[in-house]
Structure 1
Amino acid sequence: MKIDGPFYADMETAAAEAARLAEAGYDGVYTLEGSRDPFFPLVLASQARPELDIATGIAVAFPRNPSHIAYQAFDLQRFSKGKFLLGIGPQIKTHIEKRFGLDFDPPAPRMREYIQAVKAFFDCWQNGTRLNFEGRFYRHTLMTPMFNPGPLEHGVPPILLGALGPKMTEVAGEVADGLIVHPFNTLPFLKERQYPAVAKGLEKSGRTREDFLMQIAAICVTGANEAEFEAAKQTVKGLLAFYGSTPAYVPPMKAVGVDDLHEELNRLSKEGRWDVMTDLIDDEFLNHFAVVGEPDTIAAQLYEKYGQDADRLSIYAPYQASPEVWPSIISELKRLSGR
C-alpha cells in the first residue's frame, strides 16, 4: 500500500511543499481541483522531488474535452518519467451546469464514453492505431503527425475515476484503471455499495481486482497537542457539514443511519449559516467518516479500516498540524502494510 499526501500548493509554493511531503515519507502527492488548476503545481512538484508519484485527485472531466486532458496527461507522464496518475471525476450536476455552463446528464454514460475517448487518444499515440472514436457525446477521428506527441517511454498513465454512486462506480470498474474513493465515505457504504459496483464493472470488462487500482481517501483528525487536535476536529466537522448538506452525498450517511441530518444541513447551507451547520456534527457522526485520535493511534486505525482494500491510501487532513505529526504515522502505515 502506497501513501499519498494532499498537495495544497499553488505555483509559488509547489516546490517547497513537495519537498516537505517527500521528507515526511509520502510516496506521492495529489491535487484537488478547487480554486486552483490541478495540473500546473504537479509540474513543479515533479521537478523538485522526482521520486514522488504525482496525481490529480481529481480534475473535473466534463469541462475539458477528452483531447485536452489526454495531451495534459501525456505531458505529465513524460515529464515525470512514468509517475503520473490521471484522476478525474464528474463533479456534481449543479457545478457542471451552473459554474461551467455545460450539460451533465446522463453522467455515467457520459463518463464511460469520456474515458473511452481519452484511451483512444492514448492508444493512437502510444501504439500507432488510427484515431477513430465515434460516440454519442464525443467524436474524435483526425490525428495528423503534427499533433501526435508520439509514444511514452514509461507507458501511458493510468486513469482513475472518482465516483460515489453505484452507476459511476460501475463505470470505473468497467473502463477505468482504478477508483478514487471519495473521502466522505463510511465502511458499510464501501462494503455494501461501492466494492460490489466495482466488481460488477470489472466483470463486464473481463478483468479482476488484480487489474484494478483502489485509491481510498481517508479523513483524519489528529494533532500534536490538545489545541491542535481541537482545531483539526472543528475544521473536519465543518467539512463534513458541507458534504452532508449536498444531496449527492446522502448515500454514505444513509448507510450508517445519519441521513436524517441532511435536510437540515441542506437548508442551513442555502441560508449561508455554516457555523450552525458545523455545530450539528456530533462526535458520533465524526467517527463514522473520519479516523480520530492521537498521532500514535492513527496508523493502526487507518490500516484496520482500509488496509485490506487500499492499494493507495490518500490522507485527507485539511488543517495545519505540527511537522512531527505525520512522518511517524506514515512510517507506521508502511510497516503495517509490509513495506
Structure 2
Amino acid sequence: MATRGITVLRGGVESVAATAAAAERAGFGTAWTPEFYTRSAIVTLARMATVTADVRLGTSIAYATGRSPLMLATEARSLDELCGGRLVLGLGTGTRRMMEDWHGLDGAAPAVRMEELVPLLRSIWRLHEEPVAHDGRFYRTHLVPTAETTAPVRPDIPVYTAGVNPRMIEVAGRVGDGLLGHPLFSRPYLEEVVRPAIDRGREKGERPDAPVELCGVLICAVHDDADLARREAAAQLAFYCAPKTYGPLLEASGFGGVGERVRAAFAAKDFAAMAAAVPDEMVDAMAAAGTAAEVRARVAQAEAEFDHVITYPPSFGLTEERCDELAAALVDELAPGRG
C-alpha cells in the first residue's frame, strides 16, 4: 500500500508545523510544505523539523529558480541536518509567467534548466570529495573549499521534481528520485501521459531502472454536508485551472472547456463563477470530496494509482477558520488505518 502524506498551502509557519506534528502522531508517513509568495518552504520545513521526530519531511515545492544552486544546496544540507536525514527536496519552477514576473528570470526551457540544476546540487553535496567546476547553459559554479569540508548528513538527499506537461515530467525520469504530481492529474492523464513521460526520461537519462517515486497530490475536502465539501474542492480545482499553462492537461483529461470558463471568470475576478465552472465529474476525477467515508474510499483508490498520496485540504476562497478545520479533519479522518 502506498504511504500517505499531507500538505497545507494556506496558513502560517506555526500552523503548518502543528499540522505536521499532528500528522506524525496520527501515523502519516510524510508531511510537506508548499511555497508561495506568502510563505517560504525552507523556513516552514525548518520549523516542522523541530516539532517532529520520525515523519519524512518534504518541500512541495520549493522554487528552484529563485535561488542559486549554492544557496539551494546549503539550505537543503542544513535542513537535512536539522531533521536528522528525513528531508525530501521537492523542486519546481512554477509557470513561465511566475519565473519571469515573480523571479525576474528567463522562462525559457525550464526542463533543461532543472536537468542541469539537480546534478549540480548533488555535486555540491559532495564537495567534501572534490571541488565543483560547472559551466552550463543556466548556471556557472566554481567552488573550491578554502577550509576543511565535512561530509553532510547525507550526500544523496532525495530530489523530487514537479511536472505537469510531458517534457517537464520527463525531468523526474532523467535526473530525479521522484515526481511530485499536480492536483489536476486525472487517472487517464496519469496512464496516458505521466507514466510514459517518466519512462522516456529514464531512457534519455540512460538510467532505465532508476526508482522514481510517483507522488499524487490529492485535494481532499471532508464535511458532513457532502455537497459543501464538493464545492470547496471545486473551488480549489478552479484555482489551479486558471493558468493557461495547464490547458493541455485539462484538454487531455476531457475538461478543456472547463479551463476556458474558469479563465474567463478569473479575468473578471468572479471567484464564485470560477468554482461554479467546475462540474461534479471533474471533482470525481481529480479530487476526494464528501463525507469522511467517501473521502477515505477515494484516497484508497488513489493509493492504488500512485506510489505515495499527499492529501491536501482546499483553501481557495475559504476563511482561516475553515482552513484550519479542514486540515484537522484530514489528519483525524484520513489517519492511516482508520476506516
- Is the CA contact (8 Å cut-off) linking 1:166 and 1:194 kept in structure 2? yes
Q: What is the 5 A alignment of 1:88-127?
A: 88-125=91-128
**For the structure 1 residues 155 and 50, does the alpha-carbon distance in structure 2 shift closer, same or farther, using more than 3 Å as the test?**
farther
SS at 1:330 equivalent? coil
Which TM-score applies when normalising by structure 2?
0.89
SS at 1:153 equivalent? coil
Structure 1: gaps of 5 or more residues: none
Q: Deviations over 1:180-201 (max 9, x none)?
A: 0111111111110011000111
Question: What is the identity percentage for the equivalent residue pairs of Structure 1 and Structure 2?
Answer: 25
Residue 20 in structure 1 maps to residue 17 in structure 2: no
The residue type paired with residue 93 of structure 2 is P
Residue 81 in structure 1 maps to residue 84 in structure 2: yes
Q: Deviations over 1:43-63 (max 9, x none)?
A: 221111121211110011111
Q: Deviations over 1:93-140 (max 9, x none)?
A: 111111221111021111211212212212324xx0221222111111
- For 2:93 and 2:104, the matched residues in 1 are separated by 14
Q: Deviations over 1:154-179 (max 9, x none)?
A: 44311100111111111111011111
Query: Among residues 42, 47, 53, which one is paired with 1:44 in the alignment?
Result: 47
* 1:208, distance to aligned residue in structure 2 (A): 4.3
Residue 220 in structure 1 maps to residue 220 in structure 2: yes
- For 1:324 and 1:270, the matched residues in 2 are separated by 33
**For the structure 1 residues 295 and 210, does the alpha-carbon distance in structure 2 shift closer, same or farther, using more than 3 Å as the test?**
farther
- For 1:135 and 1:158, the matched residues in 2 are separated by 22
- Is the CA contact (8 Å cut-off) linking 1:5 and 1:314 kept in structure 2? yes
The residue type paired with residue 142 of structure 2 is T
- Is the CA contact (8 Å cut-off) linking 1:296 and 1:329 kept in structure 2? no
- Is the CA contact (8 Å cut-off) linking 2:122 and 2:155 kept in structure 1? no
- Is the CA contact (8 Å cut-off) linking 2:100 and 2:106 kept in structure 1? yes
**For the structure 1 residues 70 and 81, does the alpha-carbon distance in structure 2 shift closer, same or farther, using more than 3 Å as the test?**
same
Which TM-score applies when normalising by structure 1?
0.89
* Equivalenced residues, count: 327
- Is the CA contact (8 Å cut-off) linking 1:9 and 1:17 kept in structure 2? no
- For 1:325 and 1:156, the matched residues in 2 are separated by 32
- For 1:23 and 1:284, the matched residues in 2 are separated by 34
**For the structure 1 residues 168 and 185, does the alpha-carbon distance in structure 2 shift closer, same or farther, using more than 3 Å as the test?**
same
- For 2:127 and 2:177, the matched residues in 1 are separated by 18
The residue type paired with residue 306 of structure 2 is D
**For the structure 1 residues 276 and 285, does the alpha-carbon distance in structure 2 shift closer, same or farther, using more than 3 Å as the test?**
same
Please name the residue that 1:139 is paired with: 140
Deviates more, 1:248-257 or 1:273-282: 248-257
The residue type paired with residue 29 of structure 1 is A
- For 2:169 and 2:55, the matched residues in 1 are separated by 27
Please name the residue that 2:309 is paired with: 313
Q: CA RMSD in A?
A: 2.2
Please name the residue that 2:272 is paired with: 275
Query: Among residues 229, 234, 257, which one is paired with 2:231 in the alignment?
Result: 234
SS at 1:206 equivalent? coil
- For 2:73 and 2:93, the matched residues in 1 are separated by 16
Q: Deviations over 1:199-239 (max 9, x none)?
A: 1111223334562222211122322x22xx44432222112
**For the structure 1 residues 191 and 167, does the alpha-carbon distance in structure 2 shift closer, same or farther, using more than 3 Å as the test?**
same
Please name the residue that 1:243 is paired with: 240
SS at 1:74 equivalent? helix
Query: Among residues 276, 297, 319, which one is paired with 1:300 in the alignment?
Result: 297
**For the structure 1 residues 297 and 261, does the alpha-carbon distance in structure 2 shift closer, same or farther, using more than 3 Å as the test?**
closer
- For 1:331 and 1:15, the matched residues in 2 are separated by 19
Q: Deviations over 1:52-89 (max 9, x none)?
A: 21111001111111111100000011111110000000
- For 1:52 and 1:67, the matched residues in 2 are separated by 27
Residue 260 in structure 1 maps to residue 257 in structure 2: yes
- Is the CA contact (8 Å cut-off) linking 1:291 and 1:298 kept in structure 2? yes
- For 1:149 and 1:39, the matched residues in 2 are separated by 23
Q: What is the 5 A alignment of 1:64-213?
A: 64-125=67-128, 128-146=129-147, 150-208=150-208, 211-213=211-213
**For the structure 1 residues 97 and 142, does the alpha-carbon distance in structure 2 shift closer, same or farther, using more than 3 Å as the test?**
same
* 1:24, distance to aligned residue in structure 2 (A): 2.6
- Which structure 1 residue ranges, 4+ long, deviate > 6 Å from structure 2? none
- Is the CA contact (8 Å cut-off) linking 1:221 and 1:293 kept in structure 2? yes
The residue type paired with residue 334 of structure 2 is I
- For 2:187 and 2:19, the matched residues in 1 are separated by 31
- For 2:20 and 2:302, the matched residues in 1 are separated by 27
Structure 2: gaps of 5 or more residues: 315-322
Please name the residue that 2:282 is paired with: 285
Please name the residue that 2:317 is paired with: none
